[in-house]
């Protein structure tokens, strides 16, 4: 068992106003599992990732990874946050090796590892480019390479491809799937795109509107390896999509009524 979220709640207090972002949420994520989280905006998806990453404390409950309670920054996870976290004044390669620099990895090892990582995300030859000289998709790839530089067992990805156009998104999904097939890291992947969730994940978790709780968990049994360009036409995909959409739609409509 890799990550256990045990009856977790998160309450924020801001200007004496309280927001209960997540309430009584329990979830077990298995080692090597690819799990996707979907839910209406503001239901606490990023908050949950922040708690798994140890950046935020739980107000109630706890998160346990490999038998150890998460307290303080969790160095066992790599976290691709919702915001683009590349440093604009560092080249792509210097962004990728930042985590290695922090760990005092030797210059030569750093260079070798960075080269391999840039190759892995299909960016060989772009190492010297600065973030503003790269496309949106390329920046996301650099961010992915940077997270992989830690070689974490677990990857937390918060809407990593959300801002990309539909075609580029598929290309990125394809790369991520191939990488995951090779490495079988545990992935917790937040998305608003239900088709993306079904295409990639072993299980899709639908959250309720705030306070976020689990509304539905659907096991995705589509065979692997999956062809991200074609999987949506496979038998079974549409039925799963409809079931999940119904659960999600209900929560989105509730939010509209508020």
Chain residues that interact with Mg ion, rule: CB under 5 A = 46, 82
Contact with ligand ATP (CB under 6 A) among 23, 33, 38, 44: 44
> Of 27, 46, 238, 257, nearest to 249 (Cα)?
257
In whole angstroms, give the CA distance from residue 51 to residue 31. Answer: 18
Contact with ligand ATP (CB under 6 A) among 3, 8, 36, 45: 45
Which positions from 89 to 128 touch ligand ATP by CB under 6 A, shown as an x/- string?
----------------------------------------
Peptide bond into 159 cis (omega under 30): no
Contact with ligand ATP (CB under 6 A) among 3, 33, 38, 46: 46
Q: Which does 208 bind (CB under 5 to 8 A by kind): Mg ion, ligand ATP, none?
A: none
Contact assessment for residue 100 and residue 151, using Cβ atoms and an 8 Å cutoff = no
- Give min distance, CB of 211 to ligand ATP, in A: 9
Number of residues that bind ligand ATP (CB under 6 A): 14
Segment near ligand ATP (CB under 6 A), from 14-22, 96-104, 125-133, 171-179?
14-22
Binding footprint of ligand ATP on the chain (CB under 6 A): 12, 14, 19, 21, 39, 41-47, 82, 210
């Amino acid at each position: 068992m890799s990550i256990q979220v045990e009856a977790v709640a998160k309450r924020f207090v801001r200007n004496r106003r309280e927001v209960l972002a997540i309430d009584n949420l329990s979830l077990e994520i298995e080692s090597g599992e690819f799990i996707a989280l979907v839910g209406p905006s503001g239901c606490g998806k990023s908050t949950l990732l922040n708690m798994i990453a140890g950046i935020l404390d739980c107000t109630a409950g706890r998160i346990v990874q490999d038998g150890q309670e998460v307290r303080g920054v969790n160095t066992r996870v790599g976290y691709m946050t919702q915001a683009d976290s590349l440093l604009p004044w560092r080249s792509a390669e210097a962004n990728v090796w930042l985590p290695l620099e922090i760990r005092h990895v030797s210059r030569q090892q750093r260079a070798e590892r960075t080269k391999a990582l840039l190759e892995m995300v299909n960016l060989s030859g772009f190492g010297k480019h600065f973030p503003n000289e790269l496309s949106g998709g390329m920046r996301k790839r650099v961010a992915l390479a940077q997270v992989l530089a830690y070689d974490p067992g677990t990857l937390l990805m918060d809407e990593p491809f959300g801002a990309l156009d539909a075609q580029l998104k598929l290309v990125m999904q394809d790369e991520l799937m191939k990488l995951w097939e090779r490495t079988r890291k545990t992935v917790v992947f937040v998305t608003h795109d239900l088709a993306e969730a079904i295409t990639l994940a072993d299980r899709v978790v639908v959250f309720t509107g705030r306070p976020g709780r689990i509304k539905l968990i659907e096991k995705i049994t589509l065979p692997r390896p999956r062809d991200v360009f074609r999987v949506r036409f496979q038998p079974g995909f549409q039925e799963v999509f409809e079931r999940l959409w119904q659960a999600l739609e209900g929560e989105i409509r509730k939010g509209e009524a508020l």
